[in-house]
Amino acid sequence: MCKRCYNKSDESSAFIWITGNQTQPAANRASAGFRKDVSMNIHKSAEDYLEMILMLREKKGYARSVDIASSLGVTKPSVSFAMKKLRENGYINVDERNEITLTAMGMDIAQRIYDRHKALTAFLIQLGVDETVAREDACKIEHDISDETYRAVLRQING
C-alpha cells in the first residue's frame, strides 16, 4: 500500500461496519446486536491500517504508530484513533513498548488484503504496466475486487 492510495478523507469514518444493507458505526455495533465476526466487512481504511501493520512487521520486525503514520502519510493522532478502534474491536494488540501486533482476526484481514495487493501488482505488471503504476493501481483495486474476479486473476497469474 502506498500513501497515494490511502484516502485521508476516510480517517474519520474508518470504522464503519457493514452487514447486509445496514451500516453502523463501530461504537453502536454492540448495542445494535452486531457480533464481532471476521465475515463482516470493515471499511477499506481499516483494512489499509491492518495491511500496513503486516507490511511493517514483515519489513522491520515491528510496527509502531509513528511508522504507520509515516508510511501512510497521515497524522499521528489519526493513527492513534484508528489503533484504539482496532484494539477495541479485537484486531490488534499494543504491548508495553507500544509495538502493535495483529490478532488472529486482524491477521486474517491484513493477509487477505496484502495477498490481493501482491497478486494484483504481479498481474498488472504481466500486462505491461509499469511497476510503480501497477503497485498504485493494485492499492485501489484490492479492496473492491470481487472474489470471483480475484480468483480469475490468480488463474491467469498461475496458469
User: Could you read off the pLDDT tens digit of each residue along the chain, which spans 159 residues?
Assistant: 554 444 444 443 444 332 333 334 444 434 333 333 343 457 888 999 999 999 999 999 999 999 999 999 999 999 999 999 999 999 999 999 999 999 999 999 999 999 999 999 999 999 999 999 999 999 889 989 999 999 999 999 988
pTM listed for this prediction: 0.73
Q: Which segments of the chain belong to CATH 1.10.60?
A: 112-158
Q: What's the CATH number for 112-158?
A: 1.10.60
Q: Which helix (H) or strand (E) holds 19?
A: strand 16-19
For the chain, the maximum distance between any two Cα atoms, rounded to a whole number of angstroms, is 50
Q: Which fold has domain 9-109?
A: Arc Repressor Mutant, subunit A (1.10.10)
User: What is the rounded CA–CA span in Å between residue 46 and residue 51?
Assistant: 9
Half-sphere exposure of 93 (CA within 13 A, CB side): 8
